[in-house]
Amino acid sequence: MNMVILHIAGHGKKKSGVFDPGAIGFIKQGEHKYYAETFFDLLKKYEPKGHKVIYHTAYNVYNYGNIVDLAKSYGQDTVVIEWHFDAALSKSIKGGHVIVYNKFKPDALDLRLRDGINKMVGVRYNHRGHKGIAGRSNLSNVNRCAKGKVNYRLIELGLCTNCEDSKVMLESADEYAKVMSEAIYNQEIKINTQSDIQTGDYIVRSGDTLWGIANKYNMTVNELKKLNGLTNDIIHAGNKLKLNNNTKVETEVKPIIKPEPKKEDKLKATKTGDVVIRSIQSTLNSRYNTGLRVDGYYGSLTNKAIVKGLQTELNKQFSRKLKIDGSFGSSSRANWVTVKRGAKGNLTYLIQALLYCKGYKITLDLSFGGATKKVVKQFQKDNKLTVDGKIGKNAITALVK
Ligand SMILES: [Zn+2]
């Protein structure tokens, strides 16, 4: 079934000319540019043929107030998906959701989108028994579309204030786009293996010869030349050649993809890597010889390197005999020493680094003072631990997760 889909990047340029970036948090592009410059390109990459798909990034549709007219300008049955990500005061809140008008039940598309989000970052909220769906009546575009009978939902892809969600949205954006495309079109989507049966012309590629092409399509060189009015054997890449009448030609279809930039290029281009995390990574490398790539992203490798640091410090400062393997298991837990207010040095630094990477605002000053204690208490509260402001066995176990 062919669909008309209107993707809207949330926020953007207002009528007044002022640019509204949306939420930012760990995703330095902000909501609007994340969709307009990153995610929508990836969605295009995973877009199957046969649908009319519009990507709206030109202005802030919410501010213009014209969502119903905009949707209907592409047809009465336009399916609208407005894309956002969330921010929250507590860094530990995570997960995405799909917003629908509160008097509506989610439809099959809403539920598939919800499943996609759940797969990538988990979901929150519950509407009429559907986890990951939020029913709202206080959002303008939701209300406008309900009233104007437009098939609409608003997606919150995750929380830009949560370290893990942001990491998925940044580092696994490609996979996230694929998962969401599969949800939208309700089919498994593959790229690179696309082929298309067409009748008609052959487009010459560099390296092709008349003989080779003729051979491939069961023609003679002379037939090919005659059909195309060629007086010599010279062909150039990009030339169109007619083949035998209505010969079915299997051609590769160029995927609609920009080449995936290398990670380093991408970082340079978008500057999304975090400067403090970079400094943590280079400190770990020089102090514990961890060989991390200094990319400003907190992921499993950086986490492992911090754990190696913790194990090294426990061995050095407290004569433990831990294996430095970067995995905080039962032996590391048993040999942990409680770190509390008044402590100074590398263990405190590593704790501060973990808190920072988990999205807490903290200065990495190697000194466990009142400010660090306050952040530790917040972390314990967020993780439903005993709130004592000390990093004991339970707190460190939660922190290294
Ligand atoms: Zn938003």
d(CA 28, CA 274): 9
pLDDT tens, position by position, 308-366: 999 999 998 888 999 999 999 999 999 999 999 998 889 999 999 999 998 888 988 88
- Cα-to-centroid distance, 85 and ligand 1 (Å): 6
Q: What CATH number matches the domain at 198-248, 1.10.3720.10, 3.40.50.2000, 3.10.350.10, 3.30.830.10?
A: 3.10.350.10
Q: Which residues pair with 299 in a beta bridge?
A: none
Beta strands in 105-210, from DSSP E residues, in sequence order: 126-127, 130-131, 133-136, 151-159, 195-199, 202-203
- Cα-to-centroid distance, 171 and ligand 1 (Å): 20
- Cα-to-centroid distance, 225 and ligand 1 (Å): 59
What is the percent of the chain where pLDDT is above 70? 90
- Cα-to-centroid distance, 40 and ligand 1 (Å): 16
Q: Can you state the angle between helices 346-357 and 300-318, rounded to 10 degrees?
A: 160
Predicted pLDDT at 200: 56
Residue 369 has pLDDT above 50, yes or no: yes
DSSP-derived pairing of the beta strands 126-127 and 130-131: antiparallel
CATH 3.10.350.10 in the chain: give the residue spans: 198-248
Residue 368 to residues 12, 170, 276, 288, 353, Cα–Cα distance (Å): 42, 31, 18, 21, 12
Residue 282 to residues 29, 95, 113, 279, Cα–Cα distance (Å): 24, 30, 39, 5
CATH 3.40.630.40 in the chain: give the residue spans: 4-185
**38 DSSP assignment:** I
130 is written with which tokens?
């559907």
- Cα-to-centroid distance, 155 and ligand 1 (Å): 9
Dihedral class, residue 17 (left if φ above 0, else alpha if ψ from -120 to 50, else beta) = left
pLDDT tens, position by position, 281-303: 988 988 898 988 888 888 889 99
CATH of domain 273-399: 1.10.101.10
Residue 264 has pLDDT above 70, yes or no: no
CATH 1.10.101.10 in the chain: give the residue spans: 273-399
Predicted pLDDT at 60: 97
Instruction: Tell me the whole-structure pTM to 2 decimals.
Output: 0.51
- Cα-to-centroid distance, 86 and ligand 1 (Å): 6
- Cα-to-centroid distance, 8 and ligand 1 (Å): 11
d(CA 376, CA 49): 51
Predicted pLDDT at 247: 40
pLDDT tens, position by position, 212-240: 888 777 778 888 888 888 888 888 877 77
Residue 245 has pLDDT above 80, yes or no: no
Q: How would CATH label the architecture of 4-185?
A: 3-Layer(aba) Sandwich (3.40)
Average pLDDT of the chain to the nearest whole number = 87
- Cα-to-centroid distance, 11 and ligand 1 (Å): 6
- Cα-to-centroid distance, 195 and ligand 1 (Å): 38
- Greatest alpha-carbon pair distance for the chain in Å reads 90
